[in-house]
Structure 1
Amino acid sequence: MTIDVFGHMPDGRPVKRIRLRAGDLQAHILTLGAIVQDLRMDGVAHPLVLGATTLAPYLGPMHYFGATVGRFANRIAQGRFSLDGQLYQLSRNFRGRHCLHGGQIGSAERLWSVTQVTEDSVTLTLVLPDGDMGFPGNLEVSLTISLSDRALGFDIRATSDRDTICSFAHHGYFILDNSGSLAHHRLQIAAEEYLPVDDDLIPTGDIAPVQNTDFDFRTPRGLRDVALDHNFCLSHRRENLRHVARLRSDLSGLTLDVETTEPGLQVYTAQHLPQQGVIGHDGQALGKHAGLALEAQAWPDTPNHPHFPPALLAKNATYYHTTRYVFATA
């Protein structure tokens, strides 16, 4: 375990980088956004996540890469929702119309505090004030990022002094070979349903079966030229930790298994990444389909759809979220 300064925010505050090690895995975690800046496995020549070697890209075109997003991950239509009879207007940072990942300055844009560090884990904390980005409640968040042999784990706890909504997600982009794209990857998801979306990627409110659609990943399917930015409905409530998805590269033989407590998995194939201006660890430009985001979370726009699994965090109750990404070689 080592801690150094990775860079400085525009106002001069330092961004710390924490190096973790366990078994075959080594990770670098930033205090900015709780970003997983790098993840490596012994015997594998390439990184397992997309990232940058300096801070500047994370403040620009690589916004959200590897970050923990919230206080409500994904989109909320028109940046509005009602709770306890009161209408809340949130920050509208997506296309000027909708709230995305907690608003203009969500958890991905904040400097988290380091409260505990070991060789294989770091605990980061964050306080989001009442009214921040329009959300009710002083929200106290604790996130432990840990390594265990070949697993990267996220344990998130949060409490609020008012009824509020809460959903966090890890927004890392995974890549299991050094080809620069998902062309050789296959994905399997344990989901019978998905959420159709409108042109603004907002759920329509329908819960549609995946059967006989392009969203059926119940058996492994290749990702070459596939474009996804959709929520797969893993369950209709938060569950105990269980296996929900598997990603495999036929080129490298590496596999990634996703385990989570969450009811939804947002799958994004990075089709909107810019062709230029986003430079990865190896100094090469990252283009379309350069990595895969597997974001375990509440269903998007849940506060505006009473038939979706609830994302309410009651006053003085505790939000629990655990997600693990487990790697294996052929």
Structure 2
Amino acid sequence: MGNLKIQTNKTIENWTSFTLINDNDVKISLLDFGGIITEIIVPDKNGNMENIVLGYHNHEKYKSNPNFFGAIIGRVAGRIQNSSFTHNGESFFLEANEGKHHLHGGNNGFHKAIWEAEPFQTIDQVGVKLTHTSPDGEGGYPGNIQANVTYTLTNDNQLIIDYDATTDKTTALTMTNHSYFNLNGNVSDTIHHHHISMNSQQFIELNHDLIPTGNVVSVDGTPFDFRQGRMLEDGIHSNYEQNKLVGNGYDHYFIFDQDPNVLVTESNSGRTLTIQTNQPGMVMYTSNSIVDDLDQDGIQSEKYLGVCFETQASPASLHFDRMPTVVLGENQVYKKQTVFTFGIV
């Protein structure tokens, strides 16, 4: 046992900031507001401890947070076409907060809630359990939702995010975390040279509104084939139509194969990030349309400063078959886990 501990501080609006520290001096800081991860400090190959996620030094900016930096996203992560869906013959109309479409639970989604926080510590891990109740009809969604999100930092340099929820009416629910990773550390470079490997044979095609068309596309022969590994710059510089229409890069849902491990490496820093989950897929977003308000480490906002790995089901399932469903029945328990393991090559 060494440095394993939790630090708490009050910040603006009486929000509470929690910093989880393990025996290796890895630090993860988060807010009870939006469950927002504000910093992840991990070593590079030379032992330099640096932050590998985007965020705001000035916490006031999290009040608007148009990029959703580090936040818990819900009820439904992603875009819902025309801000509506029908289930069992009943139509539900949601808040339109991105043109005519619904994005990331609406303007007052889980990313804007103050979660009830309960820190905990054991012999080899520290964490915070966050709890939030979303009432029937909030944002247009049916059902009272009782949601829990637990962040756990282990001495194996793992961040474990556990999601569980129940509803008293059949509803739509798929939560994720919207952290933007940059393994260079302290935003010292873009993500062009991040190397990604993942087991996914198919992705969901988008239209010019970034709404799924209903087509599930094979990755064969495209910049979306990461089965043998490739650099993110392959898609950023690609002339492939699906890369171009999202602003040159990726903002797509990948459907996982049986073994959903994702491996991210950055050779200059030597940092690695492994992602394991029981979610059926993941949106990978290369910050192609990042809003110009970053105030981190003296860096000006620009595209490609971070990459999101939004493990989740697909909101396209509300309109199309063959997609991993976001429907949660009143007798079902939503129970998902994503594990981020930080390492060095």
Structure 1 residue 115, shift from structure 2 partner:
3.0
Task: Provide TM-score, normalisation by structure 2.
Answer: 0.88
Q: Residues 204-226 of structure 1: CA distance to partner in whole angstroms, max 9, x if unpaired? A: 00111000112111111112335
Q: Is the 8 A contact 1:79 1:92 kept in 2?
A: yes
Structure 1 residue 296, shift from structure 2 partner:
0.1
The 5 A counterparts of 1:264-279 are 264-274=281-291, 276-279=292-295
Q: Which runs of 5+ in 1 are unaligned?
A: 9-13
Q: Is the 8 A contact 1:271 1:289 kept in 2?
A: yes
Paired residue for 1:89, among 81, 88, 93? 93
Quote the Cα distance in structure 2 between the aligned partners of 1:58 and 1:180: 23
Quote the Cα distance in structure 1 between the aligned partners of 2:287 and 2:67: 13
The 5 A counterparts of 1:285-304 are 285-304=300-319
1:260 equivalent in alignment to 2:277: yes
Q: Residues 172-204 of structure 1: CA distance to partner in whole angstroms, max 9, x if unpaired? A: 001111432112211112100000100111110
Quote the Cα distance in structure 2 between the aligned partners of 1:77 and 1:65: 23
Match of 1:168 in 2: 175
Q: Is the 8 A contact 1:49 1:174 kept in 2?
A: yes
The 5 A counterparts of 1:170-249 are 170-178=177-185, 179-224=188-233, 225=236, 227-235=249-257, 243-249=260-266
1:40 equivalent in alignment to 2:41: yes
**What amino acid is the match of 2:95?**
S
Match of 2:74 in 1: 70
Quote the Cα distance in structure 1 between the aligned partners of 2:133 and 2:293: 32
Quote the Cα distance in structure 1 between the aligned partners of 2:324 and 2:270: 36
Match of 1:134 in 2: 140
Structure 1 residue 79, shift from structure 2 partner:
0.8
1:100 equivalent in alignment to 2:103: yes
**What amino acid is the match of 2:293?**
G
**What amino acid is the match of 2:62?**
Y
Percent identity over the alignment is: 30
Structure 1 residue 284, shift from structure 2 partner:
1.8
- Secondary structure of 2:50 counterpart: coil
Q: Is the 8 A contact 1:23 1:150 kept in 2?
A: no
Match of 2:343 in 1: 328
Structure 1 residue 62, shift from structure 2 partner:
5.0
Structure 1 residue 117, shift from structure 2 partner:
3.0
Structure 1 residue 54, shift from structure 2 partner:
2.0
Structure 1 residue 85, shift from structure 2 partner:
1.4
Q: Which runs of 5+ in 2 are unaligned?
A: 1-5, 238-248
Query: Between Structure 1 and Structure 2, how many residues are aligned?
Result: 317
Q: Is the 8 A contact 1:187 1:217 kept in 2?
A: yes
Q: Residues 79-101 of structure 1: CA distance to partner in whole angstroms, max 9, x if unpaired? A: 11111210000111112x11111
Quote the Cα distance in structure 2 between the aligned partners of 1:250 and 1:53: 27
**What amino acid is the match of 1:2?**
Q
Higher mean C-alpha deviation, range 61-70 or range 130-139: 61-70
Match of 2:246 in 1: none
1:305 equivalent in alignment to 2:320: yes
Task: Provide TM-score, normalisation by structure 1.
Answer: 0.92
Match of 1:319 in 2: 334
- Provide the aligned C-alpha RMSD in A: 1.6
Higher mean C-alpha deviation, range 220-229 or range 292-301: 220-229
Quote the Cα distance in structure 2 between the aligned partners of 1:196 and 1:177: 30
Q: Is the 8 A contact 2:55 2:294 kept in 1?
A: no
Distance 1:302 1:44, change over 3 A: farther
Structure 1 residue 61, shift from structure 2 partner:
4.8
1:121 equivalent in alignment to 2:127: yes
1:19 equivalent in alignment to 2:19: yes
Q: Is the 8 A contact 1:248 1:254 kept in 2?
A: yes
Distance 1:99 1:62, change over 3 A: closer
Higher mean C-alpha deviation, range 319-328 or range 45-54: 45-54
Q: Is the 8 A contact 1:262 1:298 kept in 2?
A: yes
- Secondary structure of 2:275 counterpart: strand
The 5 A counterparts of 1:51-62 are 51-61=55-65
